[in-house]
Amino acid sequence: MKIGVDYYPEHWDKGLWAEDAEDMKRAGVEIVRMAEFAWSRLEPEEGVYSFGWLDEIVGIFAKKQIQVMLSTPTCTPPLWLFEKYPEVIQVDKSGRRIPIGIRGHRCLNSPIYREKCRQIIKQMVSRYAENKWVVGYQIDNELEASHCCCPVCEEKFRSFVKKKYGTVEQVNQAYGNSVWSGEYSSFSQVKPPFGEHQTWLNPSYMLDFNRFASESTVEYVRFQEELIRSLDKKALVTTNTWLCENMPDFYNMFESLDFVSFDNYPATKLPGDNESLYSHAFHLDLMRGIKKKNFWIMEELSGSLGSWTPMPPTLPPGMLEGYSLQAIAHGADAVLHFRWRTAAVGAEMFWHGLIDHSNVKGRRYKEFCDLCKTVKEWKEIEGSVIKNRVAILYSSEQEYGFKIQPQVEGMHYFTQIKAYHDAFTSLGVGVDVINWLSDLSEYEIVIAPTIFITNSQIEKNLKMYAEHGGTLVLTSRSGVKDEYNRCIMQPLPTVFSELAGAVVKEYNPIGLGTQKIEVSDKIWKGKPFTCTLWCDILEPNQAEVLASYGEDFYQGEAAITRNNYGNGKVYYAGTVLNRKGMVALAEYIVKDLGMEYVQGLPFGVERTVRQKEADKFVFLFNNTDKRQDFVFQEIHNGEADAPERAVLEPFEMAVK
C-alpha cells in the first residue's frame, strides 16, 4: 500500500523541486503522479520535444527513491495543434466547434489527433522505458464517453449503426421511427443528436448514440494502452475515472488495464439529515467491483474544492486522514492526494492541495504526514482483499436510459443503488457493486435495482441465479424496456414477472412526496415507515406480501413481496423506502439467510473487512463530524456475540 501525491513541476520554479521532493520523502510519500496536462511543455512546437525538465524532476524523485506514475498528456493538446489542425476540436450538439482554452476539447476519433497522440506518447514512453522509478502510465485524464458530433464522429456513428443493423429498414424497426415521421430512407440521414431538445429525440436512437460514445472512448483507451505496452512491457497501465456527466462503460474501459483508478472527492460539508446518503463508500465499492480486485485512488481530497464553483467548508480535523483510510478499507492499494501544493495560477487555484498558497506547511499537511505514518504501520494489511457475499448490479445501459428519459422528479439511476448499498452496509454487511452481466454464483444475495432496460442475458442470469438458491432483490422500474429502449407490452415487471410472482396493476410516480407504508410484523414489528418517488401497486399471484401502502387510493395494496422461485427467493420492492425502512428490509433478508451482520452501528459508522489467507482485518470508520460512543454486536446464524464497545472521534478509523 502506498500514499502519494499529484505534482505539477511545470507550475513551480525549479528552485522548489528538490525541496519539495525532500519534504515529500520526509512526510512518507512513496509515489508521485505527473505530466497529465504538460503537453505544451513537452512539445512546445510541432515535432520539437523538450523533455529535459521532466528528466530532471524524475531524477530528483529517483534519488529520493520515490516512484513516478507518468500520465500521457493527451487531455490538453497545445494551442499550436488546434491552430494548425482546427478539425481536431470537438463539435458540440449545436454543430459548432467548442471554444478552446479549457481541457478535454479534442475529438478522440480524429485521425490527426490520434497521430499527434501517438507521437508524443512514443517520445515519452520510449524515453523512460528503462527507468525503474517510472512504474507506469495513466492514460489521458478523467475520460468521459465522447459526445463529439464532428464529421469524423458523424461518419463513425453512421458506420456503427450500419454495422449493427445492416439495413435502414432494420434501423427503422428497432428505433420505432414511424413516430413523428422519423423513418430513414438512406444511411446518409443517420447523424449524431444535434439540437437543444435532446430529451425529445428518439430514445432508441439516443441509447445507441450513448453506446457509440462509450465505445469510442473505450477504443481510444485501447489505442493508447497498446502503444504504451509495445514500448514498455513492464509498465503498469491504467486511466483515472470518476462519476462524470457522460460515463463510459467502466467494465469495457478497464477490461485489459492493470487496475482501476478513481478520483475521490467526498463531501466536506455533511448534510444535516439522516436521509441524505453522502458516504463515498458506494463509489469505492463500485470502483473495486469493476475488475473485482483492489484499485488505486489517483486523486484524493486534500482541501476545500473551488475554482468554477464557490468553495465549501474546508476539511475539519481528521477528515483528510479518515477519507484516505476509508478508501483503503474498501480496497484501495494506493492513495495519491490532489495535490501537493495549491495552484497559484490557472483555473484550479482554489482547488486546495495539501499546502496552501502561503507555502506554509499547516494543519492538513501535518495530518497527511500522520496518514503516511499510519499506512506504514498497516503493512500487515498489504496483500489483503475484500470478499463479500452481497452484490449490487450496475449497468451503464440503465444510467443512459434514465438520463434519456427521466422517470420522475428526484429519481435517478443511482437512487435505489445507493439506497440498497447503504441499507446493507449499515448492518456491517460488505457489498460488491458489479457488472450487471457478471457471474452471480459466488453471492448469497444479489440486488438488481431498476433493470429499466433489459436483455436476454440478464433475464437468463437472474432466473438461473434464483433457481440455484440465490436470494434476488428486484425493484420498481424493472423490465420496462427491451434492449432497443422500447417499452415492453406486458404487465410490469414484464420479463421478470415470473421471478417476482407478482405483477404491477398500476403505478404512481409520486416524485419528492412521501407516503406511509404498513409493514408486516416479519419486517419491522408492524411499525409504519414512509416511501417516496415511485409506487408500484402490486398484484401477487404467488408471492407473499411483506408490506402494503398505508394511504392514497391504493391503501392496503401490496408494496413489497417475496416469492419462492426454484431453490431461491425473489423480493420485489415496488417503492423507494426511507432509510430506516431500507435498513429494516435488508436486516430481514440477511436474518432470513442466517448471514453474519452487526447490530448497533450508529448512523454514519461504517464497517468493512479485508482478508489475507487466514487473517481478517475489520475496519470501523466514523464517517460523521460527531464523536461516537456505542455498543455493537456481531450476529452469526442468529446468535449474538458478546457486546463490544467502541469510541470513535470524528472521521476516526479503527482496525482490529
Among 142, 321, 367, 652, the active-site one is 142
b/e code 185-216 from CB counts within 10 Å (16+ = b): eeeeebebbeeeeeeebbbbbbbbbbbbbbbb
d(CA 474, CA 259): 30
Write the DSSP string, 241-261. Answer: E---SS---HHHHTTTSSS-E
| Residue with grid cell 417499452, as numbered in its chain | 487
| Residues pairing with 558 in the sheet | 538, 548
Cβ-proximal residues to 353 (8 Å cutoff; 6+ apart), any chain: 302, 303, 337, 338, 339, 340, 341, 342, 343
Q: Which of 609, 616, 598, 522 is nearest to 560 (CA)?
A: 522
Is 299 in the active site?
yes
What single-letter DSSP state applies at residue 526? T
Its sign, for the CA torsion 555, 560, 561, 565, is: positive
Provide the 10 A C-beta neighbour count for residue 370. 14
Q: Which of 232, 249, 357 is nearest to 306 (CA)?
A: 357
The answer to whether 545 touches 561, Cβ cutoff 8 Å, is: yes
d(CA 133, CA 235): 10
For 469, phi then psi, to 5°, come to 105, 5
Is 142 in the active site?
yes
d(CA 288, CA 433): 8
Write the DSSP string, 450-479. Answer: T--B--HHHHHHHHHHHHTT-EEEEESS-S
The answer to whether 620 touches 598, Cβ cutoff 8 Å, is: no
Write the DSSP string, 18-87. Answer: HHHHHHHHHHT--EEEE-TT-HHHH-SBTTB---HHHHHHHHHHHHTT-EEEEE--TTS--HHHHHH-GG
What count of residues does the chain have? 656
Provide the 10 A C-beta neighbour count for residue 12. 17
b/e code 108-136 from CB counts within 10 Å (16+ = b): bbbebbbebbeebbeebbebbeeeebbeb
For 476, phi then psi, to 5°, come to -55, 155
Among 30, 43, 299, 557, the active-site one is 299
For 442, phi then psi, to 5°, come to -85, -5
The answer to whether 13 touches 358, Cβ cutoff 8 Å, is: no
* Max Cα distance, the chain (Å): 76
Please report, to the nearest 10 degrees, the dihedral formed by the alpha carbons of residues 3, 281, 619, 423 taken in order: 180
| Residues pairing with 435 in the sheet | 394
| Residues pairing with 33 in the sheet | 6, 69
Enzyme catalytic residues:
142, 299
